[in-house]
Amino acid sequence: MGDASFVNIGYIQKTHGIHGELLVNFDLPLKFDPIELESVFIEIDGIPVPFFIENIKAPSEEKAILKLDEVDSIEKAQHFTGLNLLLPVDNIPESDEMFLADLVGYLVYDENSNRIGKISDYIEYDLNATFTVLRDNGVEVIIPAADELITLVDIEKKIVEMQIPEGILNLNS
């Protein structure tokens, strides 16, 4: 895609029913109620194409059943399966809550302002979560993604300051 003014919020998994409805999987739990949406963009051949929403039902945080205007048959709906669902960054409703997964792409610094690297992935396990951090030397390190280790988040500068557990940076060196 490459257009930074859009955020990929999920993808169209499959058709639903015979009247052109689509089953949507959200990549992350949304920080807003999808029923508030009036329109969405679908990435077609790398281009965000706008569609008005006729109806949306959200049975869970991870899924929704989406009915787009002018998509009124299973045949028309099948063209959308597997495509990404996008929202303009400016149209995402504000939320005070920030999720750890939102920190992917942020630079990580320790408490002494030493640059550790860039968060390349967030993985949530049953008992804990981790950040994969790509060091400047190309080595990936795994750091616990725990609220109590994060001392500062600067959203404008995309910086996270963390208490790095002793010795963890040497595990993969």
145-166 per-position pLDDT tens digit: 887 888 888 777 889 899 988 8
173: which residues sit within 8 A by CB, 6+ positions away?
Answer: 139
Is 136 a member of any domain? yes
Q: For residue range 98-114, what is the model confidence (pLDDT) as tens digits?
A: 577 788 899 999 989 89
The domain total for the chain is 2
Q: Which domain holds residue 106?
A: 100-170
Within a domain: residue 82? Answer: yes
pTM of the model: 0.52
Is there a single domain that holds both residue 111 and residue 64?
Answer: no
**Mean per-residue pLDDT of the chain:** 84
- The H-or-E segment that residue 78 falls in is helix 74-78
Tens digit of pLDDT for each residue in 60-117?
778 889 999 999 999 999 999 999 998 887 766 555 445 777 888 999 999 898 999 9
Between 154 and 16, the more confident residue is 16
> Are 15 and 87 in the same domain?
yes
- Residues 155, 171 contacting (CB under 8 angstroms): no
Q: Label residue 3 by pLDDT band (50, 70, 90).
A: very low
Same domain for 106 and 135? Answer: yes
